[in-house]
Amino acid sequence: MRKCFLMMPVLLLAAGCSRNPAPAGPTAVGGGPVPNDASAPSPAATAKTAPNSTGPATEPVAAPAKPAAMIPNGTALHVRLDSEVDTKHNRAGDGFTATLTEPVQVGGETVLPKGTRFTGHITQADASGRLRGRAAIGLTLDSFEHDGRRYTVRTTSVDRLSAAHKKRNAILIGGGTGLGAALGAIAGGPKGALIGAGAGAAAGTAGAAATGKRQVAVPSEALLRFTLRSEVAL
């Protein structure tokens, strides 16, 4: 019985401790626990995702437009001359026009159609010397028109030379002098021979003057072939 009385304080102390529950965490409305908001961004994440508002605003740069086609260096241009040019009526620097007779193709596609109009100029136009040398004329293309635009070109030149002079032209002058002297001597002796020689020389020179200078011409409708010396971007 005495042992029971001694155990009573210990039992009462244990009962008192069980009535004081451990402190609970915060509760939400309705009695449930407050959830952990894992979706809320941290300050570091906010700093990483925030846009940089201090830098200047930049406009998008458009890429340069590419040419529709590129006619390469060395391309042949076959044209027909629209009007005659020659060394008698034309001088270096005079212009001319021509028409493309064959389409220009690049990679199997036509980039310049037949009938394209070209312009050019005469590079030289020289008659031959009196009884020597050859007449020479040269032409080159400068530009063409395509889709309402004008394009500049650099091409090779087309040159034409006259035939060479023959020795018979000089013989004609000498022969004229001798024939005049002979006729003058028959007509009036030594004095007449001198007069006749001068007259014969003049006649021979006049005859040579008619044929002594050669000219060269490139006729209208002549078919000419030029070659591009630099590429052309269309």
Q: What percent of the chain has pLDDT over 90?
A: 44
pLDDT band at 128, cuts 50/70/90? confident
Mean pLDDT over 59-65 rounds to: 65
- For residue 40, pLDDT over 70 is answered with no
For residue 62, the model assigns a pLDDT of 65
pLDDT score recorded for residue 204: 39
Look at the block and give the residue holding tokens 């394009």: 151
Mean pLDDT of the chain: 74
Between CA 212 and CA 169 the distance in angstroms is: 7
What pLDDT does residue 201 have? Answer: 42
Asked whether the predicted pLDDT for residue 45 surpasses 80, the reply is no
Q: How far is CA 77 from CA 17, 54, 98, 204, in A?
A: 113, 59, 11, 47
What is the Cα–Cα distance from 99 to 80, expressed in whole angstroms? 5
pLDDT at residue 183, rounded to an integer = 41
Most confident of the following: 38-42, 125-129, 191-195: 125-129
Q: Is the pLDDT of residue 214 over 50?
A: yes
Model confidence at 71, pLDDT cuts 50, 70, 90, reads very high
* Chain centroid offset of residue 133 CA: 38
The pLDDT, as a whole number, for residue 11 is 58
95: pLDDT strictly greater than 80 = yes
Cβ–Cβ < 8 Å for 84, 96: no
pLDDT per residue over 72-92, tens digit each? 999 999 999 999 999 999 999
Q: Phi and psi for 101 in degrees, rounded to 5?
A: -100, -15
Cα–Cα distance between 80 and 82 in angstroms, integer? Answer: 6
- Model pTM? 0.56
Nearest to 179 by CA among 158, 159, 164, 193: 193
Type and span of the H or E element at 136: strand 136-146
Q: Give CATH superfamily name and number for 70-165+215-233.
A: Type IV secretion system, VirB10/TraB/TrbI (2.40.128.260)
Cβ neighbours of residue 165 closer than 8 Å, sequence gap 6 or more: 128, 131, 132, 133, 134, 212, 214
At residue 124, the pLDDT reads: 96
> Region 44-67: what's the mean pLDDT?
59
Residue 199 has pLDDT above 50, yes or no: no
Asked if the model's pLDDT at residue 50 lies above 70, the reply is no
pLDDT the model gives residue 202: 43
The per-residue pLDDT for range 129-180, each reduced to its tens digit, is 776 788 999 999 999 999 999 999 999 999 999 888 765 555 544 444 444 4
Domain boundaries, the chain: 70-165+215-233, 166-213
What are residue 109's DSSP bridge partners?
Answer: 106
